Structure 1
Amino acid sequence: MATTPDAPLVSRIIDDKSPICVPFILDRLEKYRAEQARNDPSSPRPFVVGINGVQGVGKTTLVRTLYETLQDRQGLETLVVSIDDFYLTHADQAALAAAHPDNALVQVRGEPGTHDTPLLAQFFDAVCAGEPAHVPEYDKAAFAGQGDRVAPTAGNPGRLVNGPDGQPPPLQVVIVEGWCVAFKSITPAEVERKWQESASSEPSKLASKLHTHKLEHLLLVNERLQAYDAALTSRLDALIHLDAEHTPYVYDWRREQEAALRYARGTGMTDEQVERFVDAYYPAYELFADGVRLGIFPEDKPDRQLRLIISKDRRVKESLIL
């Protein structure tokens, strides 16, 4: 008699994050609008929220709830955009990889440096000025999974925001989410220190990947990250950081997700493929997550960042306002 495989044991994503994050954002939004009314009441600039979190931590659920709260319940014209939609085109990614053939960090999309930062800056320049802009779209399935940006056409120019004559209405809130949102570059000396510590650490104590790359390769990613600050990070008015209590949880969470996909759809990455996939992102977590944990806003702009520390079962263990 045929049997079906047992369902994978997947840690449920419990939405205990929204009850903490939504009031925080609504409070920050109220303060932002009051400041705007005092300083520049005619400014069309929307409230810009960043959401950072490792893969599998629960960003999607939180973003959906936050959008529904702002757009549907508060009646605020709200846009959700992903940092992933600003990846380089397939041609530009191939050129980057060819220019650095021995640097595994830029052979595929993922690490800072594989996004189109001029496009990111151009988009947020327009959005923050209240001007029309088309939201880019990235197709991760193109070129057999290598991905490519969806090229606008006359019949399908892409989603328009801040349209002429108020159609669609001017944006009031922009939510930008992604695994590396708000990452900031560090000094070359700090990159080297982290790299040396990784090389000398015991594998059983630290799931580090930095030592598997050459120092100059890590320094290239760090250098490329500088452009993200002006393009996006400096424009954030609030940040939610969904921080794994231990960064290696990202491997377990991603394996669970793919196991669930294989069970439900008959397709999905194997555990070995998941490990290689997460490996492409992991060096950036090691280099730049500490900076986010310390807070990205200057001292004269307090209480704009919410950090949730997420335990292995994806529940909130602690929340901090920075």
Structure 2
Amino acid sequence: MSNPAARNAIAQHVEDWISTAITVAPAGHIPLLFLSGAQGSGKSTALRQAAASLTAPVAIASLDDFYLTRTARAHLANTISPLLATRGPPGTHDLPLLRATLASLRAASDRSATSIPVFDKLADDRAASSAWRVFQGRPAAIVIEGWLMGALPDATAPSSAPLNEVEAQDPAGTWRRFQEEALAGGYARLWDEADGFFHILAPGFDTVLGWRLEQEASLWQARGTPMPEDRRAWAARFIQYYERITRRMLEGGRRPGTDLLIDGNRCGLPPPP
């Protein structure tokens, strides 16, 4: 199980990072910050705790809440690759919606109410707008967290040998090429707008499955229902969609920023010598 004290330790690092960005920002400028971390690394919890501890108003959101709708992903699956029906990889996010939300937050006044989308992961679709979160006022900073924030593209990925069973279903590299082109395009342009990156670095990809299972169990617990046994197999396969780029980011394929190494219990580690 996760360690609340360790989560708090991560949150303190994130809080300091946000606070510094606000302090050094030019007058009138709202810093845009991106927080990355593998699935289940504790980034969402750390960000919520950090934002709650700051006296300045900080607008936070998850890249996950900007997934394309199920219908939009079905269209990609039918026209490009069946693997694109599964949310998560580059190209399955609604970047125009994200940009519109960022623009609204940047233009907000002290009296504004800005809607922020919500994605229902168990329904695998965007929630109705009536269920979206609302940020009140003008933010001192905007922080978006997500597993791939700052990920760099790799043009050789489409022709590389498959890493797992999911990639084996992409023998021509069509799905991987679509992701790399997305990373080199819309995502790169989004990264260019950042005022800073913070990367929570897992000890290795093998740790991610255990974290993802904890995350899945929490989603079901929130609904008052035990996690079905078949969801374990589902989670093990689901993280294969993320494996290549997660490994790349852990190996240095990410935009430069503040790095926090953590262990399997999500405790911060000293930097390597």
Q: TM-score range by the shorter chain?
A: 0.7 to 0.9
Q: Which runs of 5+ in 2 are unaligned?
A: none
Q: Which aligned pairs between 1:1-322 and structure 2 lie closer than 5 A? A: 10-13=1-4, 14-15=6-7, 16-32=9-25, 36-37=26-27, 43=28, 45-70=29-54, 74=55, 76-101=56-81, 103-104=82-83, 106-130=84-108, 133-141=114-122, 145=123, 147-152=124-129, 156=130, 158-161=132-135, 168-186=136-154, 188=155, 190-191=156-157, 195-196=160-161, 213-214=170-171, 215-225=173-183, 226-230=185-189, 232-258=190-216, 265-268=225-228, 270-293=231-254, 296-297=255-256, 305-319=257-271
Shift of 1:277: 1.8
Q: Give a deviation string over 1:46-101, Cα, whole Å, max 9, x none.
A: 2222111111111132112211122xxx2x22211110111112211111111124
Q: Give a deviation string over 1:249-298, Cα, whole Å, max 9, x none.
A: 101222345567889843245432220121222233134554555xx25x
Partners of 1:183 and 1:291 within 8 A in 2: no
Q: Distance in 1 between matches of 2:2 and 2:59?
A: 30
- The one-letter amino acid paired with 1:60 is S
- The one-letter amino acid paired with 1:123 is T
The SS at the match of 1:316 is coil
Q: Distance in 2 between matches of 1:29 and 1:61?
A: 21
The SS at the match of 1:66 is helix
TM-score by structure 2 length? 0.81
Q: 1:259 to 1:172 in 2, by over 3 A?
A: closer
Q: Distance in 2 between matches of 1:238 and 1:208?
A: 35
Q: 1:316 to 1:120 in 2, by over 3 A?
A: same
The SS at the match of 2:264 is coil
Give 1:5's aligned residue.
none
TM-score by structure 1 length? 0.70
Q: Distance in 1 between matches of 2:45 and 2:218?
A: 17
Q: Give a deviation string over 1:284-313, Cα, whole Å, max 9, x none.
A: 3134554555xx25xxxxxxx211111123
Q: CA RMSD in A?
A: 3.0
Partners of 2:89 and 2:241 within 8 A in 1: yes
Q: Distance in 2 between matches of 1:138 and 1:261?
A: 13
Instruction: Give the 4+ runs in structure 1 shifted more than 6 A.
Output: 259-264
Q: Which runs of 5+ in 1 are unaligned?
A: 1-9, 38-42, 162-167, 200-206, 298-304
Q: Distance in 2 between matches of 1:210 and 1:292?
A: 19
Q: 1:262 to 1:268 in 2, by over 3 A?
A: farther
Shift of 1:137: 2.0
Q: 1:237 to 1:292 in 2, by over 3 A?
A: farther
- The one-letter amino acid paired with 1:267 is M
Q: Give a deviation string over 1:131-166, Cα, whole Å, max 9, x none.
A: 76432222223xxx3x222343xxx484454xxxxx
Report how many residues are paired.
Answer: 262
Q: Give a deviation string over 1:109-131, Cα, whole Å, max 9, x none.
A: 11111111121222223333447
Partners of 2:31 and 2:141 within 8 A in 1: yes
Q: Distance in 2 between matches of 1:28 and 1:249?
A: 31
- The one-letter amino acid paired with 1:135 is I
Partners of 2:21 and 2:31 within 8 A in 1: no
Shift of 1:319: 4.5
Q: 1:256 to 1:184 in 2, by over 3 A?
A: same
